[in-house]
DNA sequence: CGCGCCAGTCAAAGCGCTTTGGCATTTGAA
DNA sequence: TTCAAATGCCAAAGCGCTTTGACTGGCGCG
């Protein structure tokens, strides 16, 4: 069923049917009713490609996911983020197009996306410090929103990010108030912008307290469960072990927890743990009482916000082009005063 | 840059340029070279919508994700699955289109997808027992592959699934061989086909051993960490507690583990745990020695396979339309002989 | 020499839609 | 009553591509 058939069936021109369905005023209300009813009944919906060709808009948003050949981990937050974004697109009648791309050929990919024209804008994932994609995209004149930010990048671009620095500053301060002085940082990969900012926050708080950061207590890697386990295990075996862990992800925090159990240590009493909590749907931080003291910020919410911002930009009704979300510090049972020695 | 401009620039017709780029034989080799070089240099790539309109093919695959308003959990396996599928599409030059859809309006959605024509085929996620989507899609004449299967559905449809029944049969048998008789099943939602089959497998193995299933030991819910924790906690408080847990997901198994720690029980000695392990990239089951004894099957691999199968079907070169993958039973440290009482 | 044939190219139609620019017919104000 | 302004509809162009069908000029063959 296409427009032509539908219009013939109704004894109307394609023009009129099209206008009727798209809510143009030059159609009488009775005709509009008749058209709408027939379209419904015959299950007509316009061909997206033809419409796109005619209007120049694709009604789709692209998400380019860099898939590094080196570390082929899929980010566990991906599902929740996409669910938030996707819901927003759905409401606006947009599709979501995912493109997995080897990070080697990325630049070319963005050019291709632009000239293939099957999306109206894109979301940039996993920005790094001084990320080359941002100047490239600014240059390409393709609307985009960065999920996160990129330090040291010049240029005015749109982003939605959480205040990673502040979150980790507060978390570190909290541990310091509990009289911890040897605080380990299990961070994400520090070429990623979010991890970089978290380390700054951690460093700031330590500096305020006059404590020099100890490289032996700072790690940076992909945030797997095993990473948390192994790091905690090794650090606990040190001559002068940490009394607290600040961890960049719940998954890794679970690994830390496992190492503590192995070592016969009780979390919250012998050792304190704070983690960042993305509020993932399948990995809630306890029910009423949080298990982990955590800096919490819903990544699903970030998905909603960045999608909405991009749509607003495309429709030229965005007021502000950046959004900085604050993470809340929630107190769970995983932290307590530093043990006296 | 479009075809017209490119062809004018080369002093050739659009026809010739198009044919040159698409590898048709009626173009001289020298011309082809010249065209290819110019296209490269001027960063031309054909407009996907126009091409699609002309060829009738979209070069895109749709993934329809039912988002239940009831339980709005995002499946943690989603990321890995999509990564496998996406990589396969990439290689074949296909895009991946995600549509999140409220499960109330699903039927209509598939119709719309078909008539909007922006995908060449779709992958069906999360099939339930007797899933109405399958007859609908068969009727619509839109190529599709189901990730999983649907029991009691008639009709010949394509699917890629793991042998859930067999996996849980083997796991249960293994526990029985270790002399466990009170084996708890923490299953996924049993209107989902995979969970239904797992329960059958569990039941079969118990039946072989002449053990009647105890409803107090069987649960079915969304597979969160908290579900595992709470279920284990409650069951361990029973008058006649289980000595082993068979769990449908690593995430929930982590919850079970937490409950065991709380109860001062050592996993593998006091209590045995077997879980299904989707081999998620961010949640590896230990490093050299698996933590959990597990039925393992990579969901990423399933993504690759189902994507490939769908592409093969679309290109009419699929030999078999179904693939049943076996899960391996890997032995970790979470299982041991049932404690004598 | 004339014919058919092939290689290489092109003009034009068509994919299904939107949108421009009319063209009747009706309405309302002068 | 008259005429401008709405109102309601339509034909046709155009979006950027592929593909059909036709047209050249050069070549081999009888």
Query: Residue B271 in 3-state DSSP?
Result: strand
Model confidence at B69, pLDDT cuts 50, 70, 90, reads low
Backbone angles phi, psi at A277, to 5 degrees: -125, 115
Q: Which nucleotide is nearest to A16 (CA to C1')?
A: D9
Closest residue in B to A286 (Cα–Cα): B226
pLDDT at residue B66, rounded to an integer: 82
Residue A47 touches partner B, C-beta closer than 8 Å: yes
Q: Name which of B118, B125, B140, B247 to mutate to probe chain A: the one with the most chain A Cβ atoms within 10 A of its Cβ.
A: B118
The reported pLDDT for the residue numbered B71 is: 52
- Residue A329's CB is within 10 A of a number of other CB atoms, namely 16
Q: Do B284 and A82 touch (CB under 8 A)?
A: no
Say if residues A248 and A201 touch (Cβ distance below 8 Å).
Answer: no
Q: For B184, phi and psi rounded to 5 degrees?
A: -85, 145
Assigned token pair, A8: 């013939």
Strand pairing category for B244-247 and B272-277: parallel
3-state DSSP call for residue B220? strand
Question: Measuring CA to CA, which residue among A182, A226, A193, A108 is closest to residue A338?
Answer: A182
Query: B340 falls in which pLDDT band (50, 70, 90)?
Result: confident
pLDDT in tens, B127-138: 999 999 999 999
The two domains A60-161+299-325 and A164-298 share their CATH topology (first three levels equal): yes
Give pLDDT < 50 ranges for chain A.
none
pLDDT of residue A240: 96
- The answer to whether A54 faces chain B, any CB pair under 8 Å, is no
The ranges assigned to domains in chain B are 3-39, 60-161+299-325, 164-298
With CB atoms and an 8 Å threshold, state whether A46 touches B116: yes
Instruction: Report the pLDDT value the prediction gives residue A69, as an integer from 0 to 100.
Output: 60
Q: How far is CA A148 from the centre of its chain?
A: 7
Residue A64 bridge partners (DSSP): A99, A124
Query: The pTM is what?
Result: 0.93
Note whether A179 contacts B: Cβ–Cβ < 8 A: no
Q: Are strands A244-247 and A272-277 parallel, antiparallel or unpaired?
A: parallel
Beta bridge partners of A159: A146, A322
Q: What is the pLDDT of residue B300?
A: 95
CATH number, domain A164-298, options 3.80.10.10, 2.40.50.140, 3.40.50.2300, 3.30.43.10: 3.40.50.2300
> What does the pLDDT read at residue B72?
59
Alpha-carbon distance of B331 to B292, in angstroms, equals 7
Give B-chain residues touching A79 at CB under 8 angstroms.
Answer: 74-76, 78-79
> Which run of H or of E encompasses A48?
helix A48-55
Question: What is residue A101's predicted lDDT score, i.e. its pLDDT?
Answer: 84
The pLDDT score that the predictor gives to residue B286 is 83
- pLDDT score, position A253: 96
With CA of B51 and C1' of each nucleotide, the nearest comes out as D17
Residue B40 contacts A where some CB pair is shorter than 8 Å: no
Please compute the mean of the pLDDT values over residues B78-82 and round it to a whole number: 91
CA of A13 to C1' of D12 (A): 12
The mean per-residue pLDDT over the stretch B49-67 comes to 92
> Is there a contact between A100 and B89 if contact means CB atoms under 8 Å apart?
yes
Measured between beta carbons, the chain B residues lying within 8 angstroms of A67 are 83, 86-87
Look up the CATH number of domain A60-161+299-325: 3.40.50.2300
Q: Between the CA of A155 and the C1' of C14, what is the distance in angstroms?
A: 45
Report the candidate in B98, B137, B100, B144 with the shortest Cα–Cα distance to residue B121.
B144
Identify the pLDDT of residue B70: 55
What pLDDT sits at residue A26? 87
β-bridge pairing B244-247 and B218-220: unpaired
User: pLDDT of B177-193, one tens digit each?
Assistant: 999 999 999 999 999 99
CA of B56 to C1' of C11 (A): 23
Characterize the bridge pairing of strands B328-330 and B293-296.
Answer: antiparallel
pLDDT of residue A72: 59
Report d(CA B115, CA A216) in Å as an integer: 60
Give the pLDDT band (50/70/90) at residue B240. very high
Span of A65-69, B152-156, B204-208 with lowest mean pLDDT: A65-69
């Amino acid at each position: 069923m296409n427009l032509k058939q539908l219009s013939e069936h109704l004894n109307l021109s394609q023009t009129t049917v099209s206008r009727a369905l798209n809510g143009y005023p030059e159609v009488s209300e009775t005709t509009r009713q008749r058209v709408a009813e027939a379209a419904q009944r015959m299950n007509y919906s316009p061909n997206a490609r033809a419409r796109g060709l005619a209007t120049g808009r694709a009604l789709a948003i692209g998400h380019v996911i860099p898939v590094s050949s080196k570390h082929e981990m899929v980010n566990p937050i991906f599902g929740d983020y996409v669910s938030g974004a996707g819901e927003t697109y759905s409401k606006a009648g947009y599709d979501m197009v995912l493109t997995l791309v080897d990070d080697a050929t990325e630049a070319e990919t963005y050019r291709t996306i632009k000239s293939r024209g099957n999306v109206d804008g894109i979301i940039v994932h996993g920005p790094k410090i001084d990320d080359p994609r941002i100047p490239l995209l600014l240059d390409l004149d393709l609307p985009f929103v960065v999920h996160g930010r990129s330090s040291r990048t010049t240029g005015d671009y749109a982003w939605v990010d959480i205040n990673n620095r502040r979150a980790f500053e507060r978390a570190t301060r909290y541990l310091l108030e509990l009289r911890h002085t040897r605080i380990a940082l299990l961070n994400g990969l520090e070429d990623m912008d979010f991890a970089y900012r978290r380390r700054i926050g951690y460093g700031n708080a330590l500096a305020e307290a006059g404590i020099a950061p100890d490289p032996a207590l700072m790690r940076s890697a992909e945030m797997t469960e095993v990473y948390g386990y192994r790091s905690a295990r090794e650090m606990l075996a040190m001559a002068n072990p940490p009394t607290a862990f600040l961890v960049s992800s719940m998954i890794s925090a679970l690994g830390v927890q496992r190492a503590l159990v192995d070592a016969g240590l009780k979390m919250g009493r012998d050792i304190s743990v704070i983690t960042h909590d993305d509020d993932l749907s399948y990995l809630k931080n306890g029910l009423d009482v949080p298990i982990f003291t955590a800096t919490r910020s819903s990544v699903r919410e970030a998905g909603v916000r960045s999608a909405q911002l991009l749509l607003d930009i495309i429709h030229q009704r965005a007021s502000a082009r950046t959004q900085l979300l604050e993470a809340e510090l929630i107190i769970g049972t995983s932290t307590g005063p530093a043990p006296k020695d």
